[in-house]
Amino acid sequence: MKEKESKNHLHPLYGYAPDYALHYIDDLVKFYNVHFKVVSPRKTKFGDCRYPLKSRGQIIITVNLDLPKIQFLITSLHELAHAKTFREYHNKVSAHGNEWKNNFSLILRELYETADIPFEEKQVLKSIALKPTASSYGSVSLQNLTKRKETIFLKDIANGNVFTFNDRSFRKIRLLRTYVLCSCESSARKYKIHRLAEINASSIIE
């Protein structure tokens, strides 16, 4: 496991969206000429999509930075479906009409049919793709999943606490800029784990 970090940790959306979706989001952003921004939390919305005055101008999508990863992903794809619909129909169709629903469903299907996705998350994506709505990112299946997946970044765990990562127990020693120095409880070997590694909050022992 030592330093088995992919280049995903260099991606600007690393820590916000699931790793399996980072490059898929990239492809959609580039294809539909979108300026994608992660912004401070807003009380009234998770994300939005603003269209240019000229049909070929750049579309601006913003998504709140405080969302759980799976919710961040679904919100991003929801907004990217708006971008796709605008490129195809401009402002000639309703915001959440059949054209948008079909595009959102297609974008979701293309992801879960090609990416290596955890079973529970794939089921949520499938359920939303079957019946996409304007409030899909607030669906019951999504809310239930995010409640079960309450996580905390490794960097935010106190030094000395024990936690579970990749089915093994570690003790946090100290932060080393990008990585955190940890020791394996079973072998006492030292490891460097990325500071944005997600830790299940229920596994932490003080």
Please count the structural domains in the chain: 2
Give the range of the structural domain holding residue 159, as residue numbers without chain letter: 152-203
Cross-strand bridge partners of residue 175: 180
| Helix 119-130 × helix 69-89 angle, to 10° | 30
Considering the domain architecture, whether residues 118 and 160 belong to the same structural domain is answered as: no
Residue 92 within a domain: yes
Please say if the pLDDT value at position 6 is more than 60.
no
* CATH code assigned at 168: 2.30.30
pLDDT of residue 42: 87
Residue 9 lies in a domain: no
Over residues 47-61, mean pLDDT: 93
User: Where is the domain boundary, 110, 129, 149?
Assistant: 149
Residues 23 and 62 both lie in one domain: yes
Question: Are 158 and 142 part of one and the same domain?
Answer: no
Domain-terminating residue out of 107, 127, 149? 149
Higher pLDDT, 102 or 151: 102
Helices 140-148, 69-89: axis angle to 10 degrees equals 150
* Mean pLDDT estimate for the chain: 88
Residue 186 CB burial class (10 angstroms; 0-12, 13-18, ≥19): exposed
Same domain? 56 vs 99: yes
Shared domain for 89 and 48, answered yes or no, is: yes
Q: Assess if residue 171 is contained within a domain.
A: yes
Q: What pLDDT score does 5 carry?
A: 47
* pLDDT tens, residue by residue, 55-97: 889 999 999 998 889 889 999 999 999 999 999 999 899 999 9
Residues 42, 105: one domain? Answer: yes
β-pairing verdict for 190-194 and 179-184: antiparallel
Mean pLDDT on 154-164? 90
Answer yes or no: do 28 and 110 share one domain: yes
Q: Which of 41-45, 131-135, 149-153 has the lowest mean pLDDT?
A: 149-153
The answer to whether the predicted template modeling score (pTM) of the entire model surpasses 0.75 is no
Same-domain pairing of 52 and 115 = yes
